[in-house]
Amino acid sequence: MNRNQNSRFNRKYNTRNEYKIIYIFTEGEKTEVNYFESKKLEIEAEIRRRNIKIEIKGTGHNTLSIVEYALDFIDKENIEINGSADSDECWVVFDKDSFDKDFDSAINKAKASNIGVAYSNESFELWFLLHFNLLSSALSRELIKEKLGDVLQKKYSEKYEKKKENMHFLIKDLEETAIKNAKYLIKMHECEKSYLKKNPSTTVYLLVENLNKLKQ
């Protein structure tokens, strides 16, 4: 990526120590971006540490390719991601695509490079659905979206559509429920080594909790 193509993501070297940046690279270019942009606005309305910035980019890349994209960005922008409290952070947000043999490799590679992983098995909509219901059975992405659509229609008389812009507004008061449910699923699969087989599960809660800490 040419560093001049997107000035929002350029790290100016003469201001390198003035603020910390949390970079969030998402697979989807609308659904996840809309959600995290709204989450960013929530954080910015309450944040006390003004020397922190949150940057979000929908990449259109998935699994291993989004990790490679993030690594390439880190290298080209000379960003230090070392896991310390004051260093910049980089997160990747992606789903398990059907028959995706690279899912485990992508997660392991990201973790080995100090990149945070907010994966969903099978789809990002699982994170939305966990705000309302705890699921313990493996579901296809189509069924997850169907169940999400049913609960939104019943609770808010709204349809679910990809690129829905007000999802964070609708569900933000149920965030603690979603975090609790997501942690339950991770615990349920703790003996399973393959992320491919951890269905249903999502680690989006890790990124959400990390952002919420900025308000403290």
Is residue 117 domain-resident?
A: yes
Query: What is the domain range of residue 17?
Result: 7-215
Is residue 42 domain-resident?
A: yes
Is residue 1 domain-resident?
A: no
Sheet holding 201-202, edge to edge: 52-58, 20-26, 89-95, 116-121, 201-202
| Partners of 90 in beta bridges | 23
> Each residue of 54-64: pLDDT tens digit?
999 999 999 99
| pTM score | 0.90
Is residue 2 domain-resident?
A: no
Is residue 56 domain-resident?
A: yes
What stretches of 47-102 show up as alpha helix (H) in DSSP?
Answer: 63-76
Residues 204 and 28: their CA atoms lie apart, in Å, by 14
pLDDT score at 84: 78
Is residue 136 domain-resident?
A: yes
Q: Which residues of the chain have pLDDT under 70?
A: 1-17, 48-49, 98-99
Domain total for the chain? 1
